[in-house]
Amino acid sequence: MTTSDDLAARVARLEDLEAIKQLKYRYWRCLDTKQWDEMTECFTPDASAAYGEGRYTFAGRDAIMQFLRDAMGVQSGTWGHHHGHHPEIELTGPTTARGVWALHNYLLNPRAQRGVRMACYYRDEYVKTGGVWRIKHTGYTYLYNEEWSRADMPSLRVLAPVDGR
Amino acid sequence: MTTSDDLAARVARLEDLEAIKQLKYRYWRCLDTKQWDEMTECFTPDASAAYGEGRYTFAGRDAIMQFLRDAMGVQSGTWGHHHGHHPEIELTGPTTARGVWALHNYLLNPRAQRGVRMACYYRDEYVKTGGVWRIKHTGYTYLYNEEWSRADMPSLRVLAPVDGR
Amino acid sequence: MTTSDDLAARVARLEDLEAIKQLKYRYWRCLDTKQWDEMTECFTPDASAAYGEGRYTFAGRDAIMQFLRDAMGVQSGTWGHHHGHHPEIELTGPTTARGVWALHNYLLNPRAQRGVRMACYYRDEYVKTGGVWRIKHTGYTYLYNEEWSRADMPSLRVLAPVDGR
């Protein structure tokens, strides 16, 4: 027999998985649309990050956000997509979880004639405070990472964003 | 204490989120496999669309479908993928919802030697009638949009589809 | 009125959908990170595969795994991503399910100067034994499939993996 309390716990688990996925989707949306204030709220104040196999390591939300604004802000001339796939989220306690995600990243910097393509695997940690899930740790290792000069393809035309030409 | 009615509403919410995701997945599958009849059923009769930041705006399911058949039908010579990611779906009432989605779009037209790559963000509205979710409005803005001539890469070989060579 | 047993069945359905998605995500993660032992556990012993529109057909988990180790093992020099999207999973019985998935596949073999890009649609079958979902059949057809020589882009530089240069 299934009691109502058992069921409630199973429903809460499914809701937590959905909430953590939406958290990470908001993180990537804010990154690619350069919405830094909204993005800040995705992290706990004491969050840590180890991007690029630990090459870019930061302690604290402020340090992470400074790095992301510098690397991807409008002034950088870099546009692109960070698309996250394959969520394997595991709840490790009532207010803690970890997650594995695949990343497909494509960047273009028309001014610098630079192109980047990479695929990675994230290993994240999440915590829930006041009913809200946030990223406590994030970091990824590479499947591959390649760069090129866009001058290799002389016909390339950027139609959007207009100020990215 | 959790009553059975509370729980039922929470389960229904999770089921609605899953159904809306499957609706949008069907939409993209039909688009890329050129299944126009099945795709028509994804829209409400009065659906509206604003593709390409409003450059391609249509009122009514028939007008949307005519545009898609012209742009992506077999006669167009264009193949490719429209992959949707990062669903942030929000139920706004018992039979209404809105959704934000990321798009990764890659197109090839071997006959015209044309290549296209773009990433976008959709903002959709959905309604449920007779137990079935449908798209009431869809539209997207660009993260980036670039085009090139496939002649820049002389070694490019299309192995499939065979009639796309 | 919703009885507790009705609700329990609906929750179990949502849990099964999530478990099948995580199964397939594990499959792709193991493929791209070349974790063959963990990947073996994703299949039933009698699993069958029909990759590449049936061009690469295998009966039994051992034959499938041999093919994948040969095609994607470290010795192949091939790296890349297999990213799965758009899950349309349908439970067909208490321990059986089928699923449609979109694939985006990008491969690089720097040694052979080979590049590959394809998009596909999978049609899978799954079974649950001992509480665990596994792949009983997998196979895909192409949306498109293209290859090129990386020598067409002389500036291309592989930064990761280091032993893939």
Q: What is the structure's pLDDT at A165?
A: 44
> Would you say residue A165 lies in a domain?
no
pLDDT higher than threshold 90 for residue A2: no
Q: Which residues of chain B have pLDDT under 70?
A: 1-2, 163-165
> Would you say residue A99 lies in a domain?
yes
Q: What is the structure's pLDDT at C165?
A: 44
> Would you say residue C143 lies in a domain?
yes
Of A53, A121, A151, the CB nearest to C33: A121
Chain B residues in contact with C10 by the CB 8 A cut-off are 11, 15
> Would you say residue A45 lies in a domain?
yes
Chain A residues in contact with C22 by the CB 8 A cut-off are 87-88
Name the amino acid, one letter, at A86.
H
> Would you say residue A162 lies in a domain?
no
Q: What is the structure's pLDDT at B163?
A: 64
Q: What is the structure's pLDDT at C5?
A: 86
Whichever domain contains C13, its CATH number is: 3.10.450.50
The domain total for chain A is 1
Model ipTM value: 0.95
Range of the domain at B43: 4-152
> Residues 6 or more apart from A79 whose CB is under 8 A from it?
A107, A108, A109, A161, A164, B143, B144
Question: Considering the entire predicted model, what is its pTM?
Answer: 0.97
Q: What is the structure's pLDDT at A164?
A: 54
CB spacing of B81 vs C121 below 8 angstroms: no
> Would you say residue C50 lies in a domain?
yes
Q: What is the structure's pLDDT at B159?
A: 96
Q: What is the structure's pLDDT at B3?
A: 76
CA pair distance B131, B97, nearest whole angstrom: 14
Beta-strand runs (E) in C60-113: 79-93, 96-109
Q: Which of B4, B91, B144, B147 to mutate to test the interface with A (most CBs of A within 10 A)?
A: B144
- Give the model confidence (pLDDT) of B65-103 as tens digits: 999 999 999 999 999 999 999 999 999 999 999 999 999
Chain C residues in contact with B32 by the CB 8 A cut-off are 102, 119, 143
Q: What is the structure's pLDDT at B165?
A: 44
Tens of pLDDT along chain C (165 residues) come to: 467 889 999 999 999 999 999 999 999 999 999 999 999 999 999 999 999 989 999 999 999 999 999 999 999 999 999 999 999 999 999 999 999 999 999 999 999 999 999 999 999 999 999 999 999 999 999 999 999 999 999 999 999 998 654
> Would you say residue C164 lies in a domain?
no
Q: Which of B1, B5, B11, B111 to mutate to test the interface with C (most CBs of C within 10 A)?
A: B11
Are the CB atoms for C140 and C117 separated by under 8 Å?
no
Q: Give the A-side interface with C, CB within 8 Å.
A: 2-4, 7, 10-11, 14, 17, 53, 85-88, 100, 102, 104, 117-119, 121, 142-149, 151-153
Q: What is the structure's pLDDT at A163?
A: 64
- Give the model confidence (pLDDT) of A44-95 as tens digits: 999 999 999 999 999 999 999 999 999 999 999 999 999 999 999 999 999 9
Chain C residues in contact with A87 by the CB 8 A cut-off are 22, 25
> Would you say residue A164 lies in a domain?
no
Q: What is the structure's pLDDT at B164?
A: 54
> Residues 6 or more apart from A62 whose CB is under 8 A from it?
none
